[in-house]
Amino acid sequence: MTDSQSRDIFGVLVRKNSHKDIRRLKRESSVATIHGNKFWKSTSLLIDYLESSPPKPNMRVLEIGCGWGIGGVFLAKNYDATVTALDADESVFPYLHYHADINGVNVTTVKERYENVSVDMLSEFDMVIASDICFWDEMTKPLSDLIHRCYQAGVERVVMTDPGRQPFRDMAEECFEKYAAIYENWSVPHPYNISGLVLDIE
Ligand SMILES: C[S@@+](CC[C@H](N)C(=O)[O-])C[C@H]1O[C@@H](n2cnc3c(N)ncnc32)[C@H](O)[C@@H]1O
């Protein structure tokens, strides 16, 4: 249920850092080391975009750099997606499983860097999603390489969102040249109040 310590993000219940359960998880787990310490607003961009351009039902979805994994939880809850959530930092997973639980869905987690996700592994998925995972210059090349492997693996669709940082712009512009892609500004008004970029490759 939503209260002052929780948010309703497009029908997904998301706890604030001040919520007692999140404070308990923080005491019990190790500290997130690559910014997976909270729900990032780019997820609202991702979900709003997916609502306007919905996936097919029952897709096998891989969320990379999942953090709390709210994008994957949304797809599991609303589109019966079978979701695998991948992150280099396993300390994010207790928060992800907690949110999957309170939203009544299951999500499988994998500790791995996206640089190491192979064509073989990608061929198990129909769709790859991500929000706010391209924030350092050194992430641009590994992510465009990952998208190339998605293409080789026959992944049907890759959707990524970002608040508009330059490393993401560089990666997205390269992909826009190479693939059949939508690359556009996206804004989500009150109460979400976030603007950024969407890259949608089919
Ligand atoms: C800014 S957070 C975004 C989390 C989540 N996607 C969201 O929008 O709330 C970036 C996430 O990417 C993960 N990450 C960073 N580099 C990664 C890599 N090379 N492979 C896999 N995950 C990575 C971090 O651990 C963190 O959870």
Please report, for the chain, the start and end positions of each structural domain, with discontinuous segments joined by +.
32-201
Whether the per-residue pLDDT at 92 is higher than 90: the answer is yes
> Is the Cβ atom of 72 under 6 angstroms away from ligand 1?
no
Q: Which of the 8 DSSP states describes residue 61? A: E
> Is the Cβ atom of 198 under 6 angstroms away from ligand 1?
no
Q: pLDDT band for position 37 (50/70/90)?
A: confident
Measured CA angle at 63 (ends 4, 128), to 5 deg: 135
Mean confidence (pLDDT) of the chain = 94
Average pLDDT over residues 161-180: 94
pLDDT computed for residue 36 by the predictor = 64
* pLDDT > 70: percent of the chain: 98
Average pLDDT over residues 2-10: 89
Whether the per-residue pLDDT at 28 is higher than 90: the answer is no
Average pLDDT over residues 33-52: 87
Domain 32-201 fold is: Rossmann fold (3.40.50)
Question: Which regions of the chain does DSSP assign to beta strands (E)?
Answer: 6-9, 12-15, 60-64, 82-87, 107-111, 127-131, 157-162, 181-188, 194-201
CA of 77 to the centre of ligand 1 (A): 22
Whether the per-residue pLDDT at 126 is higher than 80: the answer is yes
CA of 35 to the centre of ligand 1 (A): 7
Q: pLDDT band for position 53 (50/70/90)?
A: very high
Task: Report the nearest atom of ligand 1 relative to the CA of 142.
Answer: 19
Task: Report the nearest atom of ligand 1 relative to the CA of 92.
Answer: 27
Whether the per-residue pLDDT at 148 is higher than 80: the answer is yes
Task: Report the nearest atom of ligand 1 relative to the CA of 89.
Answer: 25
* pLDDT > 90: percent of the chain: 86
Task: Report the nearest atom of ligand 1 relative to the CA of 39.
Answer: 9
Helix (H, G, I), strand (E, B) or coil at 181: strand
Average pLDDT over residues 92-109: 97
Residue of 161, 101, 169, 94 lying closest to 128 (CA atoms): 161
CA of 37 to the centre of ligand 1 (A): 9
Beta strand 107-111 pairing with 12-15: unpaired
Residue 15's DSSP bridge partners are 6
Phi, psi of 169 (to 5 degrees): -60, -45
